[in-house]
Amino acid sequence: MVITDALDPRLTFNGASLGGSYNSANRIVSWLIPNLNVGETLNLTFNITINGPSIISNIANVTTDKVNIGNNSSNNLTISVRPYVNLTITKTASTPNPSYEQEITYTITVTKHGPDTANNVTVTDILDPRLILIGTYPGVSYNILNRTLIWTIGSLGVGENTNLTFTVIINGTGNITNIANVTTDEVNVGNDSTNVTVTVPSTVNLTITKSMSLPGNLAVGKEVVYTITVTNNCPDNGTNVVVTDVLDPRLIYVSDNNGTNIIHTNGTIIWNIGDLANGQTVILNITVRINGTGNINNFANVSVDEINIDNNSTDVNVTVASAVNLTVTKTASVSEIVNGHTITYTIVVTNHLPDDATNVIAIEILEIN
């Protein structure tokens, strides 16, 4: 008894049970069965790979030396194979380590490898809340509510590909993963999803400003108050925030309103703020005494462990008018004298500080007698 099964060209033979053999020339699977006793049933199996779509028919036949009053052929077994495609989708970012508020461009590539044409190809990309889409792009729609980009590509033939690009502004920090998906009417045996992750370092937006109160006219010996304000605008919390203020030699430190976190050494003031949360503001008042004249510029600098995208320093410039401290004294060589004798007067003019005196004139008015 011989059993045969002719394979459709869209079927690839992989193997058969019970010694079944395959002739690749005529694509026939066959089994030679010496005997099949009365009442005996024989199950034969073979494994194939489907390599094409549409309706595929398969019929098995049996022949024997005896007259067979049963059916020599099996029923026509048909399977319906859905069309399938091999679409792949990949995604890249223009930089893997962008900075906060930097623009980056994502590129999505969809490639059609085979075997059938892909129809109604659609790509979707849901943006992370830390990504802000900028610009408009042909063939793409954007739903701002669910932050979804949609490209309707249409059909892609075997070997065709399409590149989709869009640009965003980074509006957050940490690991930002962005996922793109592709769908088609056909079964896709390739990957239908891809993602790319960029890492944005921790960042703060610290601003530091400095102002000075002016109690009337500035002059040597007067006290003034410098006010330093530090604000963390966004996006992360600042850690190990430190303000350094090196006083001009013409400024003498008097006091401050935050003694616990202040170190004052040799004209240098260090303000250890510590952690500064997003949106938090801290203020320091420093009182100094003016001890010189001219343009006095005072700088304050802020440092933080995170990247700071704003100003790290601030300064205040004031002008103190030139001033001198002149004293004049007069002595006589004797305290009592007889009429007609000579006496010597000594006049001493001293400039104590802070500037040089110019065009100094001493006038003595003698009594006429």
The first and second tokens of residue 366, run together, are 């003698």
Q: Which of 101-105, 263-267, 324-328, 345-349 has the highest mean pLDDT?
A: 101-105
CATH number for the domain formed by residue range(s) 204-320:
2.60.40.1530
| pLDDT, position 239 | 96
Mean per-residue pLDDT over the chain, rounded: 90
| pLDDT, position 272 | 96
Give the closest residue to 309 by CA, choosing from 234, 257, 221: 234
The first and second tokens of residue 138, run together, are 């042909």
Residue-by-residue DSSP string for 326-341:
EEEEEEES-S---TT-
Which residues lie across from 228 on neighbouring strands?
Answer: 210, 284
| pLDDT, position 218 | 77
| CA distances to 7, 74, 153, 293 from 48, in Å | 9, 18, 34, 99
213 in Cβ contact with 225 (< 8 Å): yes
Give the closest residue to 296 by CA, choosing from 267, 261, 264: 267
| pLDDT, position 210 | 94
Q: How do the domains of the chain map onto residue ranges?
A: 2-81, 85-200, 204-320
297 in Cβ contact with 317 (< 8 Å): yes
pLDDT at 213 over 90: no
| CA distances to 32, 221, 323, 324, 362 from 355, in Å | 123, 14, 6, 5, 18
| CA distances to 27, 34, 56 from 5, in Å | 8, 18, 13
Q: How confident is the model at residue 206 (pLDDT cuts 50, 70, 90)?
A: very high
| pLDDT, position 216 | 62
The first and second tokens of residue 181, run together, are 């998906």
Classify 348 as helix, strand or coil. Answer: strand
The first and second tokens of residue 236, run together, are 């992360």
Considering the chain, what percentage of its residues have pLDDT values greater than 70?
98
107 in Cβ contact with 166 (< 8 Å): no
One fold for both 85-200 and 204-320?
Answer: yes
pLDDT at 230 over 70: yes
| pLDDT, position 82 | 77
> d(Cα 35, Cα 17) in Å, to the nearest integer?
17
Residue-by-residue DSSP string for 104-154:
EEEEEEEEEEEES-EEEEEEEEEPPTTEEEES--TTEEEETTTTEEEEEEE
pLDDT at 20 over 90: yes
Overall average pLDDT of the 162-175 stretch: 96
| pLDDT, position 79 | 87
pLDDT at 55 over 90: no
Considering the chain, what percentage of its residues have pLDDT values greater than 90?
61
Q: Which CATH number fits domain 85-200: 1.10.10.10, 3.90.70.10, 2.60.40.10, 3.40.50.2300?
A: 2.60.40.10
Quick: pLDDT tens for 299-353.
999 999 999 998 889 988 888 877 777 788 888 888 787 777 788 888 888 887 7
Q: Give yes or no for a cis peptide into 354 (omega within 30° of 0).
A: yes
CA-based torsion, 163, 164, 167, 168: positive or negative: negative
Kindly report the CA angle at 164 between 159 and 168, in degrees rounded to 5?
A: 160
The first and second tokens of residue 7, run together, are 């394979």
| pLDDT, position 98 | 96
| pLDDT, position 359 | 83
Overall average pLDDT of the 115-139 stretch: 92
More confident residue, 99 or 74: 99
Q: How confident is the model at residue 215 (pLDDT cuts 50, 70, 90)?
A: low
pLDDT-wise least confident of 114-123, 172-181, 283-292, 333-342: 333-342
Q: How confident is the model at residue 184 (pLDDT cuts 50, 70, 90)?
A: very high
102 in Cβ contact with 108 (< 8 Å): no
